[in-house]
Structure formats: C-alpha cells, structure tokens
Amino acid sequence: MPIAVYKFTKLVEEEKACKAEEVRLLSKSSASVATKHFARKVEEESLKSVSVETENMPAAIQHFTLADRAEKERRRTMIEEMKENPLPMSAGQDYFTKRDRAEKERKAAEIAAMKENPPPASVATEYFNKIESQQKLEIEARAKELAPAAIEYFFRKAKEEQRRAKETLKRLEEKTPEASVATAHFAALEKKKAEDIEAARSQTRSKDPMNPLPVDYFTKMGQRETA
C-alpha cells in the first residue's frame, strides 16, 4: 500500500491497542481482590500453555512466533512509555493546537453567554410576534362566541326530532294504518284457499269407507281378459 495509507493504518492499529490497554488497566485497577486473584491464575495458566505450545512447535515456527511476540511486547511497552512521557510537539503543531483549543473555548464561552443573556429581538420580530399573539386571541374569542350558539342550535334540533318521533309513534299506536289494495286481495285469496281445504276435508270425512278388494281380484280379472 502507499506510504501514507500504511502510516495511518499503523496509527489506527496503535490507537486501538492503546484503548484496549487503557480499558484493561482501568478494569484491573478497579477490580476486587478475588477478581485479581483469578485473573492472575488465568494469566499463569495461559503462560504455561503458551510455553508448552512453543516447546512443541518446530524450530522455524517457534523462531518466528517468538520474534512476533517480542515485537508486539516491544510496541506495547513503547506505547505505554509514550503515553506516560509524550514527545514534545513541534513549533507549528504546538501553535495550531493552542489556537484550536482557544477557538473552541471562545465559542463555548459565547454560547454560554448567549444562553444566559439572549440578545434582544429585532423590531420586525417583535412586530410579527405581536400580530401572531393578537390573531390567537381573536381566534379564541371567536370560538368562545360561536360555540354556545352552535351548541344551542343542535340541542334545539335534537329536541325537535325527538318530539316528532314521539308524535309519530303515538299516532301509529292509536290508529293502525289501512292495508293496501294488493295486500287485502292476497289476504282474501289466502282465506278462501284455507276455507276450500277445510271444506274438502269435511266432505272426505263424511263419506263411507270403501270395502277392501280381495287379494286375487286383479288375478281373476286378468284370467277373464285372457279367456
């Protein structure tokens, strides 16, 4: 990769390592006695397993593995030393760093001052705020004036509808409405049909019962026809 990309990639990796180490040291300093004891036990076990693993490795792999671990330990130690004793900044870097900090402090102070003592509103802003407040008051007053009239109108309309419904129900109860011509015609047909059925039934009941035919009646009739 290009030199600049390689450099910043390394810086990011070192920052990640620094943050991880800070978190580890912070947790280690604030841990309880039991936690520290078991962490030490786990670390001793891991060191033993690493030493056993290293002994069982081939010579070439063991050489490069130990060299990589030594390099990582050297970088970690160097990062800790740089954190404890940071390198002095150059003149230009120190100048721009101080300038940036001063600018940030100035902006923070201005924002805090504006929050505590906001600037007075302009004439136009005050004018439009006044008009808006007057319009709100007028709308509220109109709503208060129109609301009772509307409520009274609908209340009166509901009472009138209730009165009409009661009068209609009373008239229906007092006088049943006459049926139409078609309804009367079909009712008369139904009545006549029922009367005819009842007359047929009574006529059937008044007749004498028929004598049963002999069992061989149709057999003898067939023999006579054949002869």
Residue 55 near residue 66, CB atoms below 8 Å: no
Residue 71 near residue 13, CB atoms below 8 Å: no
Average pLDDT (180-208) is 83
Q: Which two tokens stand for residue 72?
A: 């990582």
Phi, then psi, of 151 in degrees rounded to 5: -65, -40
pLDDT band of residue 179 (cuts 50, 70, 90) is low
pLDDT band of residue 131 (cuts 50, 70, 90) is confident
Residue 137 predicted with pLDDT over 70: yes
pTM of the model: 0.23
Whole-number pLDDT of residue 49 = 62
Q: Which two tokens stand for residue 85?
A: 């004793």
The CA-to-CA distance between both ends of the chain, in Å, stands at: 130
Whole-number pLDDT of residue 48 = 63
Element (H, E) at 37: helix 33-56
